Structure 1
Amino acid sequence: MGQIPYADTNDSLSVEVHLKHAADVFLVDSINFQHYKAGRSFKYYGGHYTRTPVRISVQGAGRWYLIVHGGGQYKYRFY
């Protein structure tokens, strides 16, 4: 697993992801990121996307991780 992008927020966070191919794109909080890494079920915001760009917004303070499964290379920005 390569470097997983993340961002810290006090309130709300959005991410925009530009995909080259269809992919699963998730935003997960710290607890669910640990579940993901351990291979357990986890809660996430996002899903499977075939169109780009993908935009996901979340509410809640803390650290949020961006997980992109498949799709090859991608570009992203948090805002």
Structure 2
Amino acid sequence: MQIPYCDNPGGPLTVTVHLQHRADVFLVDEQNYRNYKSGHNFRYFGGNATKTPVTITVNGPGRWYLIVDNGSGESYRYQWS
């Protein structure tokens, strides 16, 4: 599965995620995405979501990755703003 990302030129970036069930929802920058992919500790915005929708807002330029881990591969919807 491809990990969604958004290239933010700067300022606030918000993602809203609609889940079917509880899931870990993380928004990470490029360095922390690399750490996540290699199995190392990583810093993130978000956490374990038990309600939907989940809204996460960050500030800062660069590429931001949305990681949704629900343990079962269920689909979810998201929107950047």
Q: Same fold (TM over 0.5)?
A: yes
CA distance in 2, matches of 1:31, 1:23: 22
Give the equivalent residue in structure 2 for 1:39.
Answer: 39
Q: Which runs of 4+ in 1 moved over 6 A?
A: none
1:10 partnered with 2:12: no
Q: Which amino acid aligns with 1:73?
A: S
Q: Residue 76 of structure 2 corresponds to which residue in structure 1?
A: 74
CA distance in 2, matches of 1:62, 1:77: 17
CA distance in 2, matches of 1:29, 1:57: 13
Provide the C-alpha distance between the structure 2 equivalents of 1:48 and 1:10, rounded to a whole number of angstroms.
27
TM-score normalized with structure 2 length: 0.93
C-alpha separation in 2, matches of 1:50 and 1:32: 23
Instruction: Give structure 2 stretches of 5+ with no counterpart.
Output: none
- % same residue: 55
Structure-1-length-normalised TM-score: 0.95
Match of 2:57 in 1: 57
Structure-to-structure mapping, 1:17-28, within 5 angstroms:
17-28=17-28
Query: 1:21, CA displacement in angstroms?
Result: 0.3
Residue 10 of structure 1 deviates from its aligned partner by 1.6
Cα RMSD for the two superposed structures: 0.9
Distance (Å, rounded) in 2 between the aligned partners of 1:40 and 1:69: 16
